[in-house]
């Protein structure tokens, strides 16, 4: 790997003119760098990090990737990056190639050129796969923080209204990690102080009877507690079931 040089080009927020400039800049760089051990990759940032072209020394493939992606939207960036990630995972699943010395006719030597190339390709694949994994994790955490901020805004607005308020939140993927647990606890505390009851429903859990029983139970519980609150005039402590938000 010490003999391999890696160059990563990243663009963000470019209009068509900017993308044309990026394409020309890439071509100029490639024309000036004929070395075989120089590998390029192309990434973009559009809400999160996406991989357009993983590391390659194939100049034609690099230019083709830029041309194909010049009119892409966020969804196409995301789909392409997901496909690249799956291909990288497939490469890694085969295990890192072992470098073995050549032997035969009583002579020994270092690993062959093909063995070295296989090892280099595997390590570059691992670098980019780990990068995309980390980007996905950061994106999920960012989305959870944004979700909690939005729900806090909703609770804050409803706190000005008298009586008990109920929020039914549908989300199939919300997962509270340690890094956002404090922010989540603040949301629950604010909801309690504002007389707001939270219920989170997993839409995927409503697909079958066995999966959906919990979701239906929660919805039934929400309806029952709302009726009880109405009988009490909308006052009283928030119950344990009502405070179960996104858990």
User: Is residue 13 included in any domain, yes or no?
Assistant: yes
User: Is residue 160 included in any domain, yes or no?
Assistant: no
The pLDDT of residue 23: 92
Per-residue pLDDT of the chain (247 residues; tens, 9 = 90+): 456 788 899 998 888 889 999 999 999 999 988 767 789 999 998 877 899 999 999 999 999 999 999 888 888 898 999 999 999 999 999 999 887 765 444 445 678 888 888 888 999 999 999 999 888 888 878 888 888 888 888 888 888 877 778 777 777 667 787 888 899 899 989 988 988 887 776 666 654 433 445 545 555 555 555 555 555 554 444 454 444 443 4
The pLDDT of residue 106: 47
User: Is residue 101 included in any domain, yes or no?
Assistant: no
The pTM score is: 0.60
Closest CA to 26 of 54, 55, 66, 56: 66
The pLDDT of residue 140: 78
Residue 188 CB coordination number (10 Å): 18
Domain count, the chain: 1
User: Is residue 21 included in any domain, yes or no?
Assistant: yes
The pLDDT of residue 219: 54
The pLDDT of residue 223: 55
- E-assigned strands of 26-138? 38-46, 48-56, 103-104, 107-108
Task: Please return the burial class of 7, using the count of CB atoms within 10 Å of its CB with bins 0-12, 13-18 and 19+.
Answer: middle
Residue ranges making up the domain that contains 67 = 5-94+115-140
């Amino acid at each position: 790997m010490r003999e391999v040089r890696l160059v990563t080009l990243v663009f963000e927020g470019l209009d068509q003119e900017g993308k044309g400039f990026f394409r020309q800049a890439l071509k100029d760089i490639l024309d000036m760098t004929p070395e075989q051990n120089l590998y390029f990759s192309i990434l973009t940032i559009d809400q999160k990090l996406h991989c357009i072209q993983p590391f390659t020394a194939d100049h034609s493939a690099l230019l083709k990737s830029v041309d194909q992606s010049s009119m892409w939207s966020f969804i196409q960036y995301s789909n392409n990056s997901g496909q690249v990630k799956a291909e990288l995972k497939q490469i890694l699943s085969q295990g890192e190639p072992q470098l073995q010395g050549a032997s035969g006719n009583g002579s020994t030597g270092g690993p062959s050129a093909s063995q070295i190339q296989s090892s280099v390709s595997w390590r570059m694949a691992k670098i980019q796969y780990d990068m995309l994994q980390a980007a996905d994790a950061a994106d999920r955490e960012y989305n959870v923080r944004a979700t909690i901020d939005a729900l806090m805004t909703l609770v804050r607005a409803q706190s000005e209204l008298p009586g008990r308020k109920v929020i039914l939140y549908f989300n199939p993927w919300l997962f509270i990690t340690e890094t956002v647990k404090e922010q989540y606890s603040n949301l629950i505390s604010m909801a309690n102080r504002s007389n707001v009851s939270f219920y989170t429903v997993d839409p995927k859990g409503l697909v079958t009877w066995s999966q959906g029983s919990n979701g239906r139970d929660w919805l039934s519980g929400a309806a029952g507690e709302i009726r009880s609150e109405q009988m009490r005039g909308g006052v009283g402590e928030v119950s344990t079931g009502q405070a179960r938000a996104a858990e």
